Structure 1
């Protein structure tokens, strides 16, 4: 890596980080009217994909501590957007479920996500989008394999 790369912030890692940061910022700006934090909408979207996930799994995916996830779920529960239920296979664990009340909000959040993604991908062809997705997926798989090798 040359000094020019560092000065221009053109390294692959920086670009990936910067694009992710900018997409999050754009999403947060557009989703602000719904009075949700990024962490809260992350939980809601994850539950829309895996309703009834264990609270610990949600914390692991989002990358927060168990106590932080407890606070997030507490706030979502106060708004009647989620409910906790005992896990029938593990009495120590709680599963988190979406309520009917949150469904319209999740649809709005998903639309905001689509708008942000389309804005970021403006001028990029369908085949380039697929290639980008494929390459990033391979990078993720490589890093996951490395992580598994170190355990």
Structure 2
């Protein structure tokens, strides 16, 4: 296999992710008025429930100040609420609102449609195989990070 930039795993995964993200951004903004970053916040809150703001920033791999700005906009839009953390008075917990929970199905639908477009021309077996291979890649990389003493994602 040629090792030009078009055949490098990291480049291909990153570029495919970038393009999926841009398409998701366009679709989510048009349909819901949400950005990709805001949609990620809603998805994580729906999967993990109310969470500490610092933990959310770590999970999303964004700086705490960037998350604060993002949450400011989301609070203004009625998507999330923040309250003092009962266990740490210096921290805040973030919770999705009823409006956000109602919109989650639409957010996921946008993601599903982007995935369908990305996988156009793939049959069901190829789709399953690709997903399985990506799971294996993720597991291999998580194991490599763990052996370096780095936390897993």
TM-score scaled by length of structure 1: 0.86
5+ long unaligned stretches in structure 1: none
- Aligned position for 2:13: 16
Match runs of 1:1-151 below 5 Å = 2=2, 5-6=3-4, 9-33=6-30, 34-151=32-149
| Partner Cα separation in structure 1 for residue 144 and residue 7 of structure 2 | 24
| Partner Cα separation in structure 2 for residue 108 and residue 115 of structure 1 | 10
CA deviation digits over 1:38-87, x for unaligned, max 9? Answer: 21111111112122022122211221111111111111111121111233
5+ long unaligned stretches in structure 2: none
| Partner Cα separation in structure 2 for residue 123 and residue 37 of structure 1 | 28
SS of the residue corresponding to residue 93 of structure 2 reads strand
| Superposed CA RMSD | 1.9
1:104 deviates by: 3.2
1:98 deviates by: 0.8
| Partner Cα separation in structure 1 for residue 68 and residue 7 of structure 2 | 38
1:117 deviates by: 0.8
SS of the residue corresponding to residue 97 of structure 1 reads strand
SS of the residue corresponding to residue 122 of structure 1 reads coil
1:93 deviates by: 2.9
